[in-house]
Structure 1
């Protein structure tokens, strides 16, 4: 991996800045033991395996006057004690660092999204079908006052996308944006936005290099119990091979805190996208039941597609119950004719319900499912997970957790269906 294109320089900047006294670092260290009755996720020849999994996670927050940072990272090592696969590291990182060079005039931004994704989305998530991906972006933002309630922004960004195995995904992107922000009052803001990007792939991939242009209006409202972020506009894509694509751009995100214990969320968007844009924004896949490094659900390719997605969320937290639920539906249609075998409809749901048996002892159950219906090839897949867990916080720093899970894949049109049962025990230190 091109490690020099990560957040490491920005993190060193955050630590060395004069305002670093505002930096907060929280971390978790785990040691886990996992048993699987089908570690190779085979339909006909399952292999029992035991794993030893040490894991380190951290959350860094910096709120100084010169540097603001929010970074989450996770690193784990998987020791396959029976030798079913080679031992491996897995990691993920998601963060941003803003460095103010001239107060209220200029800042420099770094963002990074490191993740783990399938090489082939249609195949099971065995170690041989996984790869690390990374999307790193950096550049300046210039701010200027146009009127007492109008602020202008000019942004320049360089973005580098990289995948360990899917080399045609690798690209360099240069983009710019002009924005006008109109403050209606202390809770409402309108914006006018013009964006342009030049996307160039490292190799001669099937997807042509292209330029992307977009113009849209935005509206943001933030109240004590309600947050709304909406955008509506148009996008135009100009491919170097002479092809063109155009279409509407629409985004809506609504979060409502119905009470001190419960909240609802709604996200809707329709726009052109690609894997690098999706990974930079955060992977849409549900988190796995065992925690740790989550395997994403994106097709890692250079191809552009129209993405239409709706997601609903609900959360409840009381003295005895914690509940998190989400459902989504997604339609993905590729622009390049050679990529239409990846056209698909996706929908899924997740629930995680915990009961506090005692103040520091929680019993929980979880379930999730994702179905992918491909429009060609007569192959449809449904991935499901069901589980139960018991966790205890023994002291301020020490705790433990036990998970029992069952994973299933039902795949129509091929022989890739499987089921797997796992048991996972871990000791956790948190600071």
Structure 2
């Protein structure tokens, strides 16, 4: 609830979509660039990192939704320290927005939040942070050539070993742009060639900043109306802005080869990718290679219940993990929570093994979700705190007291084990909130929260209690 590089990309994406709206709506027929009669073939893919994406929805008019809020927070430990905590009152003006456009020439989906923080007692300088996930697809030549623009802005810690106090936060941005050439190779076979420019920046961790070029070739076969199989070859060159061999930073080339199978049914989605990766470093570290595995399944067990399972084993880095596709179906415009990530913002390349499980129940008055996550990181080209094991369990529930009055609660427990010094952090967090929709445009919410860290490292633990209230106006 509590600085901004490239947040203007949200405005750029929105303006670009609006400017082309007339062209998209006046097109003679709807065409998303895929073979006729196969509008969902091949399935949408994150062409930067080869991971499944939420497909664009059918053609609709451009829609810009937004909400503005004014929040007040009181915290008894704004600096999140073990001793000498500082009480602070905070004002937080907030802007939430979403934009969607589904036309024959342009498809766009953007979601974001911008939040200004005013520390009334002046313990910290006032600041502005934002989150953004945006994608724009321009169909230059139907069924032949598209141009893709993506931007992902997030707030991440500078150093994950210490608390997420305001002085330990930074803005991180990943910008992606490039063309995709699609061509038919038979009745049920299509080819796809991608070129992408990728720019990654962090406001404080400057060793992370890099420029990347990526090229990929994919052959996609339509096995059945619901099943596809693709062969993928991808090469990426990474050029860091600040190379430092003393800490293991070096430019590198990464090569990925994998097969991907996808099944999309009414109540069940399956995705499985198997292959291999190789990294050639320019200096200091010998070449590394390893397997590539990604598997996920989502099952709509009933009209109210859904289950999700995912597993990953791959060679990757922070940039790949920060590119998360927008999901407008899950966005609440009157949610003031600016999520602080837990990514390790370094130039490290690492082997990641992860497993996640999720359960959700959506009833007429009661909702409940439960998720768990395990991750294991082992760096290939740097030393220090990147090597770790992490475990997270989180849950949330809401109850509709009256048609316009909702009571909710959240809880999470995170454990991080650091390999370098065998230390362990345990981060519990709890909150309870009450929200009311007064009119179709006006709403308010009040939240009580507790955050903390229990650690084996002396002096790095803390406990914090927060009171947060916000008044929102929604378009």
Alignment of 1:223-262 (within 5 A): 223-241=265-283, 243-262=286-305
- Distance in 1 separating the partners of 2:7 and 2:474: 29
Task: Tell me if the contact between 2:13 and 2:134 (Cα under 8 Å) persists in the aligned partners.
Answer: no
How many pairs does the alignment contain? 425
Question: How much does 1:4 deviate?
Answer: 9.5
Higher-RCO chain (CA-CA 8 Å, sequence separation at least 6): 2
TM-score (norm 1): 0.95
Question: How much does 1:19 deviate?
Answer: 2.3
The residue that corresponds to 1:401 in the other structure is 445
* Residues 387 and 5 of structure 1: CA distance in aligned 2, closer, same or farther (over 3 Å): closer
Question: How much does 1:9 deviate?
Answer: 3.9
Cα deviation code 1:330-371 (max 9, x no counterpart): 0000012x4244200000011111111111111111101111
- Distance in 2 separating the partners of 1:244 and 1:278: 22
Task: Tell me if the contact between 2:5 and 2:203 (Cα under 8 Å) persists in the aligned partners.
Answer: no
Question: How much does 1:5 deviate?
Answer: 8.8
Cα deviation code 1:85-120 (max 9, x no counterpart): 111111110111000000000000011110111111
2:422 paired with 1:417: no
The residue that corresponds to 1:128 in the other structure is 167
Of 24, 27, 33 in structure 2, the residue corresponding to residue 19 of structure 1 is: 24
Task: Tell me if the contact between 2:80 and 2:464 (Cα under 8 Å) persists in the aligned partners.
Answer: yes
- Distance in 2 separating the partners of 1:57 and 1:174: 32
- Distance in 1 separating the partners of 2:222 and 2:83: 62
Which stretch shifts more, 401-410 or 372-381? 372-381
Unaligned runs of 5+ in 2: 26-59
Question: How much does 1:253 deviate?
Answer: 1.4
Task: Tell me if the contact between 1:191 and 1:217 (Cα under 8 Å) persists in the aligned partners.
Answer: yes
TM-score (norm 2): 0.87
- Distance in 2 separating the partners of 1:282 and 1:39: 32
Cα deviation code 1:141-174 (max 9, x no counterpart): 0000000000100000000000111111010100
Cα deviation code 1:152-211 (max 9, x no counterpart): 000000000001111110101001100011001111101000000111101123321110
Of 170, 188, 210 in structure 2, the residue corresponding to residue 171 of structure 1 is: 210
Alignment of 1:11-410 (within 5 A): 11-17=14-20, 18-19=23-24, 22-205=61-244, 206-241=248-283, 243-281=286-324, 291-336=336-381, 338-410=382-454
Cα deviation code 1:299-358 (max 9, x no counterpart): 11001000011011111111110112210000000012x424420000001111111111
Task: Tell me if the contact between 1:7 and 1:111 (Cα under 8 Å) persists in the aligned partners.
Answer: no
RMSD: 1.7
SS at match of 2:292: strand
- Distance in 2 separating the partners of 1:87 and 1:180: 51
* Residues 114 and 395 of structure 1: CA distance in aligned 2, closer, same or farther (over 3 Å): same
Runs of 4+ deviating beyond 6 Å: none
- Distance in 2 separating the partners of 1:7 and 1:203: 27
Unaligned runs of 5+ in 1: none
